[in-house]
Structure 1
């Protein structure tokens, strides 16, 4: 696969159109995928897959929850073969809804580390997004940022920005905290974190990073790939923010930085199973994984894939190797805990 060729196809946008009847043959030369990823961040790879294999890929994009509801409503009549979404919690919800079937692929098993895939091989991670701490270069000594628990320290009172508790990335982070520290310690931490908010949660991860640069807060919790997009942007505001903000990697002496995954699963009622498995193997391959890193500043789930220059510039770090399934299993407890702590 040629990375440059994928970039050339980055702007291609095609509509999803599938017509399925009861007599649709299995394993025809197509595969149908429902994806909560932005179309531009997956379509070029699918086009490359088609160019290499001759298998047409029909893509439907939407919100993760919306697509999950659609799959449940469609049941065995769904045309979808694969479900791709951007959070381990969403993948877990699809598993609980009994939407997936197990995959027997030695290629996937060798490419994707065990903690980044479902223990029953019902889904596999495709890219990692780290959730570290961003700090104002002129106001914060990064040595002050030791671990996530330390963010509840009163020294950060009125200095922290983070998005709301209804965001699944925060829910997954708290779910990981529960797995490591238990509910009692995590709730005490969440209460301390809320007490240190510089403002009521508002906006997305980019907004939190911009708020650090503008002086509304001194540190923020956000996913790295947003900062990567800002780094690669020619927008003056983004460039100004990037010049004023840096990344601190917490928990390096303990469990490591919290990470989440985008991932994919083979649906229970898939009609084009062989083609779907070929696409899953393709997306886990080194060249596809390198493309994720270059285009979206996400860390490859396949450790054999190279990092982009942007990722390299942030330095190496220890990532949490908590099994991704724990993020979904603890999601409900995390949401209740955040509510009790007053995290709105």
Structure 2
């Protein structure tokens, strides 16, 4: 299908608190911003926008403009390798301020906009919506857990369901700190194939997008809100890196749904039947947000927008 919609790329200056240097956010707009667009928040943190480009279908099929961007710390936006381990810099407020800055730059407050966040991006989108920003019309959280303790409980359950030899390999490698062996990579791949992406091979855009995690791991090594999957995938793609079956850091007990009663806009929750973001970590959103609908996509895992592309877009 030939693209009939206008596309433009740009950068917006961003005064990142405590950065100590000029910063910018790279973005891409698909379609005309004369009607409310859908702003897409990628996962990771640090995974980049590429793997979310399936949402461009919405512009061609339904005339919905799409805004994609690379959050600071990855892709074509400003990187902060010098901020490794600086939890005072890598905060939710940083990413909320960046999103606010982009929305104001694109002059969307009066036009209005919707948000779609996937994985970590879903957590960010939920946290942003809790602040009742001017212009927000709709919220979509795809595979974004409402509670990190419940998310981790779900992941431990999924690990327990792996074949005994696979589970034993993961546990033995973890106990020895052996995260570079072929055995560990093969065992991790079993988890991926079941609960991250059930397409074989992974779509090229998914592989390209998550290469950002390998190239600059600063953000996701410092921000532990949604830590396990990002590091697992980085290790799998690069065949190196630490283990990633646990969440660590000061946000390991974070439960963003506790502020979700402040979300006033219609909200759609999406996850997959085999998603590593299991139902128990999605349900608190459903119980707390007043105007909410929840759909679990049959046969899909964490990459619902790839595995059930048409259905995903219809729901959005």
TM-score scaled by structure 1? Answer: 0.32
Relative contact order (C-alpha < 8 Å, sep 6+): which is higher?
Answer: 1
TM-score scaled by structure 2? Answer: 0.34
Q: Which of structures 1 and 2 has the bigger CA Rg?
A: 1
